[in-house]
Every structure is written in C-alpha cells, then in structure tokens.
Amino acid sequence: MEKIELVKKYVEELVNAPINLVGYRDFNEAFHYLYMDSVLAVKPEDLGNTFLDVGTGGGVPGVFLSIEFGVHGFLIDSVCKKIDYVKNLCEKLGLINVELMCVRAEELKDKGNFRESFDSAVSRAVSKIATVLELTAPYVKVGGKLLLYKGPGYNEELGQAVNAMKELGVKLSEVRKYSILGKDRFLIIFEKTSPTPEKYPRKVGIPEKRPIR
C-alpha cells in the first residue's frame, strides 16, 4: 500500500472507531489535525532510528511518524483499550515499525531497559511542558531530541519549565511555527544535553500534580 493510502486508511479507521480515540468525526478535519499536524514540522533527522511516543491515545503522532519517516516507534498510553485497538489496527494494516505498550510513563522505567534508550521522544496534547519533559527526558539518549506539539499558549508553559529543563538535562533547541487549516501550531524541540538524574520520573501522578519548579 502506498504511504498516503496507508495514512488515509488509518485516519478512516480512527474516525469510525467504536471507542472514542480522537475528537474528530469528519475525515478532512481528522486528516489535517491528526496526520498533517503530526508530520508537517518534523524533519527525518529529528527522530533518529527509534522514538518514544508518550500518551499516544489513538496512535497520534506515533503511527503517522512511523509511516512517514519509516522509523521504529514505541508508543505508550495508560488506557489499555486504546492501546489494544491501535495494536490490532497496526496489525491489520501491516505496520511492523510500531510497538505498543499499556503503561504509564512514570512506570516505564520498571518495565525493561528503557532508560536513555531512545533517540527521541514525542508527545502531543498530554500536559504542560514541565510535566511532559519529566515523562520523556529520562528515556532519551544524551544528544537525542524531545519534540512537543503545542498551540499558541506555549510561551507561558516554557517560562514555567526553566528549572525542569536544568534539572532533567535538556535545553530548548528550536521552535518551529506552522499552520493547520489556518490555526497556528508550534513544534517545541529540546535537546538532551546530559543524563537525567535517576529519581526521574517520579511516582505516578507527581509530575502532573507537582511539576519541577
């Protein structure tokens, strides 16, 4: 199947899924806000060979990045029925570059040798920047990248994440502005500059309730 046909088929399945995976029921909207939003601002070199997608939900952006760039994606979410659905869908469409696990990001470190093992991490619509950095940075290799998808209000979040960045060993590398159906979107890119202390991520719920200040 051609890449774009695969993408369209996947979007179609998401829109018509029996469980609520994405907030769109219109194919065109879903195609733009899910697929185009996932890939438009990303460059192949951003991802490396393996990336982690935290809070993937219906496989967004992970599945689309894997299809688009042909790299291996490890997608996690804490809602098992979403992971099961996406897993079955990937098998049905023959997507072999996608691996899925139902686990919270805080607990991934206890599930195998995942600490600082990925070339990059991505996250879309999960939480504020400081929280997401704590949930992703511990799993990215030094020299790797963290890509967070954000709307126009990202600046305030960025200001609140200065200490988290220092503590977790990441620095802001670039902000790429793009547009989806006339709406401004931003890809915030961080670089992992030094190892993240072993105590991160903290226990389930703590990064959300008490972000590093």
Tens digits of per-residue pLDDT, 55-95? 999 999 999 999 999 999 999 999 999 999 999 999 999 99
Specify the pLDDT at position 19: 81
State what percent of residues in the chain have pLDDT above 90. 92
Specify the pLDDT at position 22: 77
Domain coordinates of the chain in residue numbers?
3-209
Q: Give the pLDDT band of residue 13 (cuts 50, 70, 90).
A: very high
Specify the pLDDT at position 179: 97
State what percent of residues in the chain have pLDDT above 70. 100
Q: Say if residues 41 and 119 touch (Cβ distance below 8 Å).
A: no
The binding site for S-adenosyl-L-methionine comprises 55, 105-106, 124
Specify the pLDDT at position 87: 97
Specify the pLDDT at position 143: 98
Indicate whether 101 pLDDT > 80.
yes
Domain 3-209 class?
alpha beta
The binding site comprises 55, 105-106, 124
pTM for this structure? 0.96
Range list of H helices, 16-160: 27-30, 37-39, 44-47, 62-69, 80-93, 129-136, 154-160
Q: Which amino acid is at 212?
A: I
Q: What is the mean pLDDT of the chain?
A: 95
Strand, coil or helix: 64:
helix
Indicate whether 50 pLDDT > 90.
yes
Specify the pLDDT at position 70: 96
Specify the pLDDT at position 18: 83
**Arithmetic mean of pLDDT, 51-55:** 98
Q: Say if residues 187 and 148 touch (Cβ distance below 8 Å).
A: yes
Of 153, 185, 186, 182, give the one whose Cα is nearest residue 172: 186
Specify the pLDDT at position 20: 79
Indicate whether 198 pLDDT > 90.
yes
